[in-house]
Structure 1
Amino acid sequence: MGESTDVVVVGGGYAGVMAANRLTQRADVTVTLINPRPAFVHRVRLHQMVGGTGAAVVDYREVLAEGVQLLVDSVTRIDAAGRGVELASGGTVGYDYLVYAVGSGSADPQVPGAAEFAHPIAGLEEAQRLLPVLDAAPASAAVTVVGAGPTGIETAAELAEQGRNVTLACGGVLGPYLHRRGRRSVAGRLAALGVNVVEGPASLVTAVTRDAVRLADGRELPSAVTIWTAGFSVPDLALRSALRTDALGRLLTDETLTSVDDDRIVAAGDSAAPSGLPLRMSCQTAMPLGARAADTVLSRLAGQQPEALSQSFGAQCISLGRGTGIFQFGNRSDIAVWFHIDGRLGAKMKETVCKGIVKHLADEAHQPGGYKLHRMKGGAGRRQALEALRAEGPAVERIS
């Protein structure tokens, strides 16, 4: 390598922006962020965009360090041997190190009719395509939201608060992460908003038509607009680049987030599978992993051994319309506990978190290296899972 080290960050979401900003600590590092769109998508606000109560796009100038070069393009393949990435535009960009932060998107529902008649909202363009569909539907038209994780709950609540006739088809339990006390609170608020919550195994959607959804027990629910929020997938860039992945397509890494195939590639966010034990897909995970990935690169440049992953969790927060929400506390191993805060205070806490995400990124842009949350000690759950994994067979090792 010459006097300058070129680092390419693939993906401009929570993890990619955090990593890119943090890498600017060193003046001899050139950082290029490659992202398919020219603006930052604040994904935790997409449900507000769908409900018409807020925006989900932030100008990169607010969150990206001045020293980071933004290249609006898509990476079609990583040439690990040649240390370069191939672009959809036809060009190539070389690198000394690469941060793989391609994020996640909507999962292929693999349910008859879903691809044709249901509307996913995990990405900005998907949410934008849904808006005119909702605008064209009468306020009394039946809207079915499929999936009862945070996105499904928030979308159902947002639309119901706008006067929509909403059914939430859980496909299982309402709010799987929530403690039973928190779940009762969420169920009560949805009922107050008029949301028809369909729970249990029988609520699994087995087919979608233009004007209905069919459930596992044979029931058909009228649905003029069906919104699909069940599950996430990751881009297949790693697979196309002959890099090893887990079953979902997340890049396999060791506990320093280094690819098991190449020590010049590190991963962060939803598209990373450290030790084959990926963390929960969320911005709460993505930003610390972005900081950790950057620190791994910086440690190698300094001739030091990178630190192993230490991920701590604290809560999951869900908005239930504009005036109510829930802040579900969890332990450091990411298991919900009995304590939660709901009502107006819960909504304020959720809004504080949403604003805080952008602030964390902006602060790191202005003062790279200032973010510290990825250094908080994690819970015992991951350590125990790693020990069990190692007892079963050889550990996932980095290949130099």
Structure 2
Amino acid sequence: MSPTGRHTASTLGPISKVVVIGGGYAGTLAANHLRMRADVEITLVNPRPQFVERIRLHQLVAGTGQATLDYGTLLGEGIRLVVDSATRIDTAARTVRLASGRTLDYDYLVYAVGSTGALPSSVPGAVEHAWAIAELESARRLRARLEDLPLDAPVTVVGGGLTGIETAAELTEQGRRPTLVCGGILAPSLSAPARRSTAKWLSRHGVTVLQEVMVREVGPDAVVLGDGTVRDSALTIWAGGFAVPELAAASGLRTDAVGRLLTDETLTSLDDERIVAAGDAAAPSDQPLRMSSYAAGPLGAQAAATVLSRIAGTAPAVIDLGFTGSCVSLGRRAGLRQFARKDDSTTNIYFDGRLGAAYKEMVLKWSVSKIRREARKPGSISWIKGGPRPEQPASATRVITSP
């Protein structure tokens, strides 16, 4: 083994081609982790030439920050970046078809396509008139629209989860007074005391919060609520719910109801042992972890480790990830850190205010710094272990043989 922790080519076998589809938190870290072996040829496929910090998109929208980074600062030496979109995986031929018409051969594939925003077709007018925030391109369009909108124009944010809260809070930095419509309770992933603290901050800063209220229809200048109430809305931002790209299903691979790739506890596809999933698009034992950058990094490392185990002819490890909680920014000067048990259930312990803002900014920077650290020294990432996982159903149990 070399001083950097990588196995040297002289001690290894023939080159293994690994294609990583998706250059987000999970895919980028997986690509770097694969460099632990020198006999692996790594190709990262991503539709954009820049890395997107999705957890900063609300800042991009409000004009209080940027959300892209140069892949040159994130990818380790030898990783080939292909700026293109995967349209189909041919498991029989072991090829990935790209939107440009090209194909890539692989021996192993890391499926890290992530998640995206979802404008619901079931809500009349949402697709036509609501604005999404979960992708770079839609966030840029939304920012341009906001720049043309008077500060006193009514703005509605739909979605009472952390994305909706952060978006509404960031808009107050512009001097706006948005309405936040929650289909259920505000911030359901937080504890009751933390929810109260968040609600107080929003109220104090002029955000109108409507809980247990559904949006029934979206118009160009208004929203219709579930009880028929019509509220003026010059701009409606949809921050509720996520979707998963359809690549796995389109390629004939089994997925869950949302579209995540079904895997066993080693993140290996139930249909093909040469395909391993990571991040938001993975559904191990049909019990996916919470969609988050927190889980994406460790799952990316785990997926890469599974591939490396297969190459080495050893049994891959099962998921062993525990959570510590979550955090939410409330503009640039406040935030909240919620503590949780390793199974991701919340405790009543949290802190907020300026300390919460500082902690959230530290987490944002850490999410990127761990990718850079893995690029410098593959295998350096570590995470909290011990999160309990449900027993695998019989349908998820497979006997894996070495290639």
> TM (normalized to structure 1)?
0.95
Q: Deviations over 1:236-260 (max 9, x none)?
A: 0001100000011100000000000
Does the Cα contact within 8 Å between 2:267 and 2:282 map onto a contact in 1?
yes
Residue 162 of structure 1, CA deviation: 1.4
The CA deviation at 1:399 is 6.8
Secondary structure in structure 2 of the residue aligned to 1:165: coil
Residues 1:42 and 2:53 aligned together: yes
CA distance in 2, matches of 1:44, 1:187: 21
- The whole-number CA distance in structure 2 between the counterparts of 1:395 and 1:223 is 47
Residue number among 168, 172, 197 corresponding to 2:184 in the alignment: 172
Secondary structure of the corresponding residue to residue 396 of structure 2? coil
Q: d(CA) in 1 for partners of 2:152 and 2:382?
A: 48
Q: Which residue of the other structure, out of 364, 369, 379, is the alignment partner of 2:387? A: 379
Q: Report deviation, 1:10.
A: 0.2
Question: d(CA) in 1 for partners of 2:130 and 2:90?
Answer: 36
How far residue 62 of structure 1 moved from its aligned partner, in angstroms, is 1.5
Match of 1:119 in 2: 131
Report deviation, 1:66.
Answer: 1.9
Q: Report if aligned partners of 1:142, 1:166 keep a CA contact under 8 Å in 2.
A: yes
Write out per-residue CA displacement over residues 197-232 of structure 1, whole angstroms, 9 at most, x where no aligned residue. Answer: 0001xx111100011111111111110000000000
Partner of 1:192: 204
Assess if the C-alpha contact under 8 Å between 1:258 and 1:398 holds in 2. Answer: no
The one-letter code matched in structure 2 to 1:168 is L
Residue among 1, 10, 18 paired with 1:7 = 18
Tell me which residue corresponds to 1:157.
169
1:144 aligns with 2:156: yes
Hey, what's the Cα distance between the residues in 2 that align with 1:127 and 1:379?
34
- State the superposition RMSD in angstroms: 1.2
Residue equivalent to 2:305: 295
**CA shift at 1:2, angstroms?**
7.4
Q: Distance in 2 between matches of 1:161 and 1:32?
A: 40
Aligned-partner Cα distance in 2 for 1:249–1:67 = 32
Task: Please point out which of 283, 287, 298 is paired with 2:293.
Answer: 283
Matched residue SS, 1:141: coil
Do structure 1's residue 341 and structure 2's residue 351 form an aligned pair?
yes
1:311 maps to 2:324: no
Structure 1, residues 142-201: CA drift from partner, whole Å, max 9, x if none? Answer: 00000011110000000012111200001111001000000000001101110000001x
Matched residue, 2:360: 350
Distance 1:397 1:343 in 2: 46
Between the aligned partners of 1:46 and 1:212, the Cα distance in structure 2 is 24
Residue 303 of structure 1 and its aligned partner are, at CA, apart by 1.3
Paired AA for residue 147 in structure 2: D
The AA in structure 2 aligned to 1:181 is: P
User: Which segment drifts farther, 101-110 or 229-238?
Assistant: 101-110
Partner of 1:27, secondary structure, is coil
Q: What is the CA-CA distance between 1:377 and the residue it aligns to?
A: 2.3
Cα distance in 2 between the residues matched to 1:4 and 1:379: 35
Correspondence 1:267 to 2:270 = no
Identity %: 56
Greater displacement, 213-222 / 116-125? 213-222
CA distance in 2, matches of 1:196, 1:57: 31
Give the deviation of 1:311 after TM superposition. 1.5
Which residue of structure 2 aligns with residue 183 of structure 1?
195
Tell whether the 8 Å contact from 1:104 to 1:232 is kept in structure 2 after alignment: yes
CA distance in 1, matches of 2:224, 2:232: 9
* Other structure's SS at 1:58 match: strand
Report the TM-score when normalising by structure 2.
0.94
Unaligned stretches of 5+ in structure 2?
1-11
Task: Give the drift of 1:40.
Answer: 0.1
Aligned length, in residue pairs? 388
Q: Which amino acid aligns with 1:379?
A: G
Q: In 2, are the aligned partners of 1:9 and 1:32 still within 8 Å (CA)?
A: yes
Unaligned 5+ segments in structure 1 are none
Q: Would you say the 8 A contact 1:263–1:398 is kept in 2? A: no
Note if contact 2:88-2:251 (Cα within 8 Å) is conserved in structure 1. yes
Amino acid at match of 1:56: A
Are residues 1:256 and 2:256 paired? no
Q: Distance in 1 between matches of 2:33 and 2:217?
A: 45
Q: Does the CA-based 8 Å contact 1:143-1:166 persist in structure 2?
A: yes
